Structure 1
Amino acid sequence: MAIVQLPDGRWRVDVEPIKGKRFRKTLKTKGEAQRFEATCRSRCIETPAWNPKPKDRRRLSELVRLWFNLHGHSLRDGKRRLSKLEQLATRLGDPVARLLDASTYSTVRRKRLDAGVSPKTMNNELGYIRAVFNELRDLGQIDFENPLVGVKPLKLQERELSWLTNEQIAELLDAIRSRCENPHTELVTLLCLATGARWSEAEKLTPNRLQGNIVTYAGTKSGKVRSVPIPKELADRLRKHWRTNGQFTSCITSFRRALERTTIQLPQGQASHALRHSFASHFMMNGGNILTLQKILGHSTVAMTMRYAHLSPDHLQDAMKFGPLLNV
C-alpha cells in the first residue's frame, strides 16, 4: 500500500522506500500525498539517513512534566513551580504546546486579573512558562520558538515599604510580652529586627549557627549563606532560651495576633516582612552604607537594596537643602 483514500476524504501515505524505513502520513489532497511519497523515496536514495520529522503534537502539560524531569527537579522551588505550571496548563485548556499563541494566553491572563489575581502573580507565571520553553529548547527537546516570546510582563505599581518607628517597635514587643502565646515569638521578632532576616530564616535558626555574637543564615531565599553580627545581650538570650525551650518552632500566628492587638496598621502581606523593612530603613537613616546593607539582606543585586537609599541622612538633607521652599 502506498496511497489510499480514507472514508473522510483525506489521503493516507504508507511507503517503505528502503527496507526498515517506513513512513506514514495523512494529508488533505491526493497531490500532497503523491508529493510526500515522492519526497520520501528520493530523499532516502540520496541521503539514507534522512527521516521526515513529524510536527510536535505534545501538549503543554507533557512539556511541563518533561521540563520538571530534566531541569525543574533541581530547583529549590521546583515542586511548587510544577504545581503552578500544571494549573496554568489546565486554565489554558492544555493545548498542543507548539500551537499556543500569545493572544490566547493574554486573554486568560486578562480574565484572571479581573478575578482579582495580582499582577505580580501573573508576571511570575509568565516567567515560569517562558522558562519551560526556553530550557527545553536549550536541551534540544523542542525545535520551535517560544510561543510566548511576544507577551510582555505587566507593569507593576511599586508598593510603599512599611517600616516601624521606635515607638511602634516598643508597642509591638509589649503586645508580644503581655500575652505569651508562644515562647519563641519575641526572640524571632528581635532577630528579624536585629539582622534584617526574613521571618522564615529567623525561625529556622539553630544553636549551631550562633557562633560568638554572629548568626549565620542558611537555606535562604537566594540560596546563599550569610552571616550577621548581633548584640551580645541578644546572643546570650538566644543561648539561654534554646537551653530552656529548645529550638524555634513556627510562631508566625502568635506574631500576627500580637500585631492585631497594637495600633499599627500595615499593608496586606507585609506583617512579618515589615520587620525586615524596619531594619533596612533604620540602618540607612542611621548612616549605614547601601552596599553593606545589600550584603546583610542578601540581595543578589544592589538595585533591590536601592529602595531604601532615599532614607539616608544625606538624601534627606538634600531634600531640604535643594527644595523649592529654600528662599521662601
Structure 2
Amino acid sequence: MSITKLPDGRWFVDVEPIKGKRFRKRFKTKMEAQQFEANARQKCSENPGWTIKPKDRRKLSELVELWYELHGQTLANGKRCVAILRLIAKDLGDPVAVALEPAKVARVRSLQVAKGMSGKYANNRLGYLKSMYNELRQLGTIDYENPVGRMRPLKLQEKPLSYLTKHQVSELLAALDARTTSPHPKMVARICLATGARWGEAQALTLDRLKGNTVIFANTKSKRVRSVPISEALAKEIRQHWQTHGPFTNCLGVFRIVLLSTSIKLPRGQASHVLRHTFASHFIMNGGHIVTLQHILGHASLSMTMRYAHLSQDHLTEAVRLNPLFREG
C-alpha cells in the first residue's frame, strides 16, 4: 500500500489508515496524491467513521426539483420560477449540475436571444439559475461554488417608463366607468392612481386594510407592509363599493381590454404597471420628494425610484439654466 506512478503518468494512492478502511484514488500529480494520503490518515484518526464523499453527479433538473421542495414552494411566484428553471435545465441538455459550464449557458442564451427572446427575459432566467444555486448552497445541499455565479447579465438599453397625462387618465377612467360587465376595474384603477400600488396589491385589498383614510398594503412584492394615505372621498367610495359589489375579483384582463379600446398607446409590457408609473411620475412632477416616493412605492433601494427623478421640475429647470449656452437676461 503506497503511492505509485501509473503507466499513463498519473499517481495511484492505495492507503489503509486503519484496519479494514482502505481508500484508492488516482491523481494527476504526486503532490495531490500525497496530500490525499495525509488527509485520509488524519481524518480517520480523528473519526474512524470518516469516508470519502462521493462525487455529486446530480443532474441540473434534480437540483431544480430539490430547490422547489426546500425553498421554491414558499415563494409567492414559486410555481412560475420552477417552471422557468425546468425549462432552463431542458434547454441546457440537463447537464450534471456541478459541471455546468458558464460558456455553455452564454452560448445557449445568445442563440435564444437571436431567435427572439427578449434580453430582459434572458437576464431573468440567469437570475433564477444563480439564485437556485446560491440557495441550495446556503441550505448545505451542495458544497461547491455557484458555477454561474460570476456570469454577468446582458447590458440592455434602458427604456423610458410610460405614464399617462391628465387627459389620458380622464379618458381611461371614463372608459372604465362605461364598462358594465365588471364593476371592479374602475375602482382598482383609482386605488392604483391614488397610491402608486401595483395592480395585484390593489386588487387584493380587503375592507379591514382600510383604516380611516389610510390604505394598508400587506401582499407586497417586497413582503413589507406599507401604508399610504388617501383622500376621504376615495376612502368613502371604496367602502361603498365593497358594500355594493363585495371583494375585488381578478380583473386585470378586463382593464387591459378597456385600455386597448382607448386612444392610449403604450410600449409592450407596460400596461399592468402604467398606473403605478403614472402616480410616481405626477408625484415627482408636482414637487414630491424622491425619498418619500421610495417609501410610498415600497422600493427596497432608492436606485429603483431614481428612474423618476428626471421628471422633477427642479431637474428640468437646472437643465436649462446650467447648460453652457445659457445667457441670463
Q: Shift of the alpha carbon at 1:164? A: 0.6
Q: Deviations over 1:161-192 (max 9, x none)?
A: 10111111111111122232311111111111
Amino acid at match of 1:247: P
Where in structure 2 are there 5+ consecutive unaligned residues?
Answer: 1-12
Distance across 2 between alignment mates of 1:102 and 1:190: 46
Distance across 1 between alignment mates of 2:154 and 2:171: 38
| Range with bigger deviation, 44-53 or 234-243 | 44-53
The alignment status of 1:177 with 2:181, answered yes or no, reads no
Amino acid at match of 1:291: V
Report what 2:153 is aligned to: 153
Report what 2:241 is aligned to: 241
Q: Are 1:57 and 1:97, in contact at CA under 8 Å, matched by a contact in 2?
A: yes
Report what 1:111 is aligned to: 111
Report what 1:268 is aligned to: 268
Report what 2:166 is aligned to: 166
> Matched residue of 2:216: which SS?
strand
Report what 2:97 is aligned to: 97
Percent identical across equivalent pairs?
55
Q: 1:16 to 1:46 in 2, by over 3 A?
A: closer
Report what 1:84 is aligned to: 84
Report what 2:280 is aligned to: 280
Q: 1:276 to 1:45 in 2, by over 3 A?
A: closer
Report what 1:316 is aligned to: 316
Report what 2:3 is aligned to: none
Amino acid at match of 1:176: L
Q: Are 1:209 and 1:216, in contact at CA under 8 Å, matched by a contact in 2?
A: yes
Q: 1:20 to 1:87 in 2, by over 3 A?
A: farther
* Superposition TM-score, scaled by structure 1 size: 0.85
Amino acid at match of 1:66: L
Where in structure 1 are there 5+ consecutive unaligned residues?
Answer: 1-12
Distance across 1 between alignment mates of 2:228 and 2:150: 43
Distance across 2 between alignment mates of 1:20 and 1:235: 78
Q: Are 2:226 and 2:298, in contact at CA under 8 Å, matched by a contact in 1?
A: yes
Q: Are 2:18 and 2:44, in contact at CA under 8 Å, matched by a contact in 1?
A: no
Q: Are 1:176 and 1:185, in contact at CA under 8 Å, matched by a contact in 2?
A: yes
Report what 1:198 is aligned to: 198
Q: Shift of the alpha carbon at 1:44? A: 9.1
Q: 1:280 to 1:102 in 2, by over 3 A?
A: same
> 1:243-258 counterparts in 2 under 5 A?
243-258=243-258
Q: Are 1:18 and 1:44, in contact at CA under 8 Å, matched by a contact in 2?
A: no
Q: Shift of the alpha carbon at 1:22? A: 6.5
Distance across 2 between alignment mates of 1:20 and 1:72: 43
Distance across 2 between alignment mates of 1:226 and 1:158: 28
| Range with bigger deviation, 43-52 or 89-98 | 43-52
CA RMSD of aligned residues (A): 2.9
Q: 1:272 to 1:61 in 2, by over 3 A?
A: closer
Amino acid at match of 1:321: R
> Matched residue of 1:264: which SS?
coil
Report what 2:142 is aligned to: 142
Q: Shift of the alpha carbon at 1:311? A: 1.2
Q: Deviations over 1:128-184 (max 9, x none)?
A: 212222233333332332221332111121111101111111111111222323111
Q: Deviations over 1:244-299 (max 9, x none)?
A: 11111122122112212211111111113111111011111111111111010000
> Matched residue of 1:216: which SS?
strand
Q: Deviations over 1:27-78 (max 9, x none)?
A: 79xxx9xx99x969x8499734442333221111122222333333333333
